[in-house]
Amino acid sequence: MQAKLSNRRGQIMRLGAIALLIAGCSDNSSSPEITLPPEPEPAATNILFIVLDDVGMDQMEIFGYGGETPPATPTIDKLAGTGVSFTDTWSMPACSTTRAVMFEGRFPLRTNVKAALGPNDLANSMTSPYTTTIPKLLAGRGYESALFGKFHIALQGNYPAGDALVHDLGWDYFAGWLDETGDPTSVDTTAGGVAPEGTYSCGFVPDGTQPNGADSGACYLADGNCTEHGGGIIAPGRSCRDEGGIFDPNTSCQNMLPEHLDFNRMNAHSVSPMVYNFPDGSVERLALTDPRSRQFRTRFAVDEAAEWINSRAADQPWMATVSFASIHTPLVQPPVDPASPANVDSTNLDCGNIVVQRILSNLMLESLDLEVGRLLVATGLASRDADGELVYTPEATDTMVVILGDNGSLGSTAKFPFDVSRSKGTAYQSGVWVPLIVSGPQVSAPGRQVTSMVNVADLFALFAEIAGIEDVQAEVPLTLDAVSMLPYLTNPEQPPLRDWNYAEVGLSLQANGEVNGPCVVGSCTQIPNIRSICEDNNGVWWGKGNEASFNGVPAPAEGFTYCSEVLDFVTSNGGEPFDIQPLVAIAVRNENYKLVENTFKDCSSGICVDDTQLELFAIDQPISTPWLDRAGDELPLDALDDAAQAALTELTERLAALRATVVDCPGDGNIDGVVDDTDLQEWGKYANATGLSSVYDLNLDGRTDALDEAIIVQNQGLDCRSGGT
């Protein structure tokens, strides 16, 4: 497109010159005025934003890692080779926190989205309907925005808009899944009701070499159609799952659906609660019997995104976010790919085996890479040559493609030499270091790497800059933490634009001070927000509703509140100590040092109090090996040299200054910095609508009611704007 515009301008200049020559040869004493047509406005650039779930830097061979058996990612490699790879990008340590940061351009201490959201979290810990999300900002430049797949910056259970929450937060269109927890549900170990709970660890019937497996049977669809699978069909139970069906092993098709088949059971990545948000605000939630609800999640997201993108008018700029759920747990075999022997041979793997998790994560990432390639081809951004190789020429397109991992890999899937105990959920390097690739027509000198520090907040600025917004902060009323990124794409010699970086994960707000229960997965963590998620990650749940015990001693029926209480219980009953992951983890760094602040709950005295610990690391990033802030590498705080002491002072002051920009403003539910009649009016909308959780549940009791109104009245006239937002 840029080349076409340049040629057009050249033609206009040549015509103008010819006209002037003709005028100069005329007998007229005065030359006629020449009016040139105005230069056409550059066409707006579209944005395709692809988010990979739980894919940390450790997974990516293109960045030099991937362990001994790196997954094959030819599509992502192609994007890197034709674009810019950012080698020092920090995310937040969990999915919801990262997504809120990149869609708002604000750190978690401002967004208040501090943890992976769960069904018990209040709307106060979700993205606010009053914030400026990137689709709201781009709408001012004429963009249409859509999101496909995973959302997870708000959950419909405690968000007043319910299933319309994606539209409520600014997107014109949404097609994706809205699970209760925001993440894939557990594996249906009955495989659709054909066997008792716990029979099939991967959610489908394996082949006949396995217990309860079968090499033939009837594959039923929800509408009653049936085909008999066997013989030449690869892994009939798995193939039937890929078709959206339920495989009834060792049977023939019947005229009526067998009564034991249950098409209303959700199943990990295969059967999901699909929801649509339309531009007029209307909502459609599909039944689990709908074929679209029975697509593997990666396929659904690509199909829906391609259809929406291809339906845009040629002159209509758009931003499409394709937010995959891979490689988030539960890890299962992706759709069968006959061209991949490893994929086919994986049918009989035990998905409940923690060792198998690494194999499955590779298979899911490789399948995801294929789907990204399918998306590029389906939307005309790329093609395939005679050998099936991807042909992608970004400068010939009108679309910027951005691909990002949302946080570090889960510990059970993290690749050597990355630290499995300091991965997703922590503020250490393995938990926040993610791949970021940008390709498209605005990239100069493609195929290079940028080693400057980048934060996922900066993507907010990048999307705005791609859309032609030069001063992003001037168009957003709230304080931004985003730093410009476009210069890295257009100027290969661009010096660093960010001299410090930040990451944070913590606790969500729940009614009356409740917190997520403890989950022991080697170490003890409180990131899993309900028991099923803990167990999907091969953990033992010690919170409410637990069935845990140690050495024959059962845990209290009410469970434990904090990991430290579990540790005391286990060690007092003869067990060995184990590590505890912090409840709140914050990291801030400069070029040479990194400060980590971890906060735990110490319950040893019978009263649980905060225990905050600081660690300082010297950063050394050789090209050949990753720098990882491992246990034991922290510097002794009582014996620092002058440079380290200066860094500790600088980073501590940096953290304090950042916190000082966030001012508590009780009663200000619409985050405009003042408490006034507008707050009373907005409170009334939520109090009258449902009365349940909302951003105007100011006393955090799970209800929006007269008690919250009293807080607004009490603080009427309060102006918090001078201190920051």
Q: How far is it, in rounded angstroms, from Cα 322 to Cα 51?
A: 6
Which of 456, 477, 504 is the last residue in one of the domains?
Answer: 504
pLDDT above 80 for 259 = yes
Residue in this structure with the two tokens 């029975």, named with its chain if needed: 294
Average pLDDT value for residue range 215-236? 92
**In this structure, what token pair is assigned to residue 123?**
């709307």
Q: How far is it, in rounded angstroms, from Cα 392 to Cα 512?
A: 53
Q: Please tell me whether residues 174 and 308 are part of one structural domain.
A: yes
Residue by residue, DSSP assigns 526-547 as S---SHHHHHHTT-EE-STT--
Average pLDDT value for residue range 68-72? 95
Residue in this structure with the two tokens 């916190």, named with its chain if needed: 659
Q: Please tell me whether residues 34 and 92 are part of one structural domain.
A: no
How would residue 18 be classed by pLDDT, with cut points 50, 70 and 90?
very low
Residue 218: closest CA among 194, 193, 251: 251
Exposed (0-12), middle (13-18) or buried (19+): which is 81, by Cβ within 10 Å? middle
Which of 483, 504, 525 is the last residue in one of the domains?
Answer: 504
How would residue 168 be classed by pLDDT, with cut points 50, 70 and 90?
very high
pLDDT of residue 39: 53
Q: How far is it, in rounded angstroms, from Cα 529 to Cα 531?
A: 7
3-state SS class at 525: strand
3-state SS class at 653: helix
How would residue 326 be classed by pLDDT, with cut points 50, 70 and 90?
very high
Whether residue 600 is contained in a domain is answered as no
Is residue 113 within 8 A of residue 96, CB to CB? The reply is yes
Among the residue ranges 209-223, 258-272, 619-633, the one predicted with the least confidence is: 619-633
Is residue 427 within 8 A of residue 419, CB to CB? The reply is no
Average pLDDT value for residue range 542-550? 93
Average pLDDT value for residue range 549-576? 94
3-state SS class at 148: strand
pLDDT of residue 440: 98
pLDDT of residue 617: 98
pLDDT above 60 for 429 = yes
Is residue 469 within 8 A of residue 475, CB to CB? The reply is yes
How would residue 155 be classed by pLDDT, with cut points 50, 70 and 90?
very high
Average pLDDT value for residue range 692-719? 96
pLDDT of residue 30: 42
* DSSP run (H or E) holding 685: helix 677-689
Whether residue 642 is contained in a domain is answered as no
The more confident residue out of 697 and 341 is 697
Phi-psi sector, 109: left (phi>0), alpha (psi -120 to 50), beta = alpha
Whether residue 618 is contained in a domain is answered as no
**In this structure, what token pair is assigned to residue 466?**
């791609």
pLDDT above 70 for 23 = no
Average pLDDT value for residue range 396-409? 98
Q: How far is it, in rounded angstroms, from Cα 545 to Cα 522?
A: 20
How would residue 510 be classed by pLDDT, with cut points 50, 70 and 90?
very high
**In this structure, what token pair is assigned to residue 695?**
């951003």
For strand 318-323 and strand 144-149, is the pairing parallel, antiparallel, or unpaired? parallel
Average pLDDT value for residue range 187-194? 98
Is residue 302 within 8 A of residue 371, CB to CB? The reply is yes
Whether residue 668 is contained in a domain is answered as no
Chain segment 341-365, per-residue pLDDT in tens: 888 889 999 999 989 999 999 999 9
Q: Please tell me whether residues 55 and 29 are part of one structural domain.
A: no
Is residue 530 within 8 A of residue 518, CB to CB? The reply is no
Contacts of 546 (CB under 8 A, 6+ apart): 517, 531, 555, 559
Whether residue 294 is contained in a domain is answered as yes
pTM to 2 decimal places = 0.92
pLDDT above 80 for 8 = no
Q: How far is it, in rounded angstroms, from Cα 4 to Cα 664?
A: 53
pLDDT of residue 20: 31
Whether residue 231 is contained in a domain is answered as no
Residue 347 C-beta-side C-alpha neighbours within 13 Å: 27
Q: Please tell me whether residues 156 and 273 are part of one structural domain.
A: yes
Q: Please tell me whether residues 278 and 372 are part of one structural domain.
A: yes
- The alpha helices in 453-528, defined as continuous H runs, are 458-466, 486-490
**In this structure, what token pair is assigned to residue 625?**
């090996």
Buried b (16+ CB within 10 A) or exposed e, 336-346: bbeebeebeeb
Measured CA angle at 352 (ends 349, 357), to 5 deg: 70
Cis peptide before 327 (omega within 30 of 0): yes
How would residue 42 be classed by pLDDT, with cut points 50, 70 and 90?
low
User: Please, what is the average pLDDT of the chain?
Assistant: 92
Written as one letter, the residue type at 658 is L
pLDDT of residue 36: 57
Specify which residues 505 forms β-bridges with.
585
How would residue 13 be classed by pLDDT, with cut points 50, 70 and 90?
very low
Q: Please tell me whether residues 275 and 383 are part of one structural domain.
A: yes
For strand 609-618 and strand 519-521, is the pairing parallel, antiparallel, or unpaired? unpaired
Exposed (0-12), middle (13-18) or buried (19+): which is 168, by Cβ within 10 Å? middle
Q: Please tell me whether residues 538 and 683 are part of one structural domain.
A: no
Residue 290 C-beta-side C-alpha neighbours within 13 Å: 12
Is residue 154 within 8 A of residue 123, CB to CB? The reply is yes
Strand segments (E) across 250-392: 274-277, 283-285, 318-323, 383-384, 390-391
Residue 529: closest CA among 126, 198, 69: 126
- The alpha helices in 328-485, defined as continuous H runs, are 341-345, 356-378, 429-432, 458-466
Average pLDDT value for residue range 389-396? 97
What's the total number of domains in the chain?
Answer: 4
Is residue 143 within 8 A of residue 317, CB to CB? The reply is yes
- Dihedral sign, Cα of residue 408, residue 414, residue 417, residue 418: positive
Residue 699's domain comprises 677-723
Which of 473, 504, 535 is the last residue in one of the domains?
Answer: 504
pLDDT of residue 35: 59
Average pLDDT value for residue range 684-710? 93
Q: How far is it, in rounded angstroms, from Cα 578 to Cα 429?
A: 21
Whether residue 151 is contained in a domain is answered as yes
Task: Please state, for a pLDDT cut of 70, what percent of the chain lies above it.
Answer: 94
Query: What's the count of helices (H) and strands (E) in the chain, helices before strands?
Result: 18, 25
Q: Please tell me whether residues 531 and 401 are part of one structural domain.
A: no
Chain segment 626-640, per-residue pLDDT in tens: 999 999 999 999 999
Contacts of 58 (CB under 8 A, 6+ apart): 65, 66, 67, 408, 409, 414, 415, 418, 423, 430, 433, 626
Residue 558: closest CA among 518, 589, 587: 518
Written as one letter, the residue type at 663 is V
Q: Please tell me whether residues 383 and 445 are part of one structural domain.
A: yes
- The edge-to-edge listing of strands for the beta sheet with 584-589 is 501-505, 584-589, 593-602, 609-618
Q: Please tell me whether residues 38 and 71 are part of one structural domain.
A: no
Whether residue 489 is contained in a domain is answered as yes
Task: Please state, for a pLDDT cut of 90, what percent of the chain lies above it.
Answer: 86
pLDDT of residue 722: 74
Is residue 194 within 8 A of residue 249, CB to CB? The reply is yes
pLDDT of residue 235: 87
Q: How far is it, in rounded angstroms, from Cα 569 to Cα 553?
A: 9
pLDDT of residue 38: 58
Q: At 153, phi and psi to the nearest 5?
A: -105, 0
Written as one letter, the residue type at 435 is P
Q: Please tell me whether residues 291 and 380 are part of one structural domain.
A: yes
Q: Please tell me whether residues 554 and 409 are part of one structural domain.
A: no
Q: How far is it, in rounded angstroms, from Cα 626 to Cα 434?
A: 12
